[in-house]
Amino acid sequence: MKYAIVENGGKQFVAIEGSTIDVDRLNVEIGEQFDLENVLLIVDGETITIGTPRVNKAKVSTTIVEHIKGPKVVIFKYRPKKHFRVKTGHRQRYTTLKIESILAE
């Protein structure tokens, strides 16, 4: 099995060929190709390539599948006996990427 650990938006993801990952929203149209170039580790069967801090000339080719919203997070602050109540919410936006290939030289 071939997989890689990539970094995008300050977060690390395990990229397995043929699977999908959700990363922070990218400003790219649906159906376009996108390359992740911050590859930290590549595993190809018994061969393991570790970057210091990145693997040179390695990239992960992906295709943009869709743009989605994450689950709603409700933030409720209150102070007892003071009648102070604030309710806010947030929904993070994500982009779903389909991993096409892992290229290493």
Q: What is the rounded CA–CA span in Å between residue 73 and residue 12?
A: 22
pLDDT at 104 over 90: no
Number of domains in the chain: 1
Query: Over the stretch 37-81, which tens digit does the pLDDT of each residue have?
Result: 999 999 988 988 898 889 999 999 999 999 999 999 999 999 999
pLDDT at 105 over 90: no
- Dihedral in degrees, nearest 10, Cα atoms 81, 86, 91, 92: -90
Quote the pTM value: 0.82
Return the beta strands (E) in 45-83 as ranges.
47-50, 59-69, 73-79
In which domain, by residue range, is 72 found?
2-103
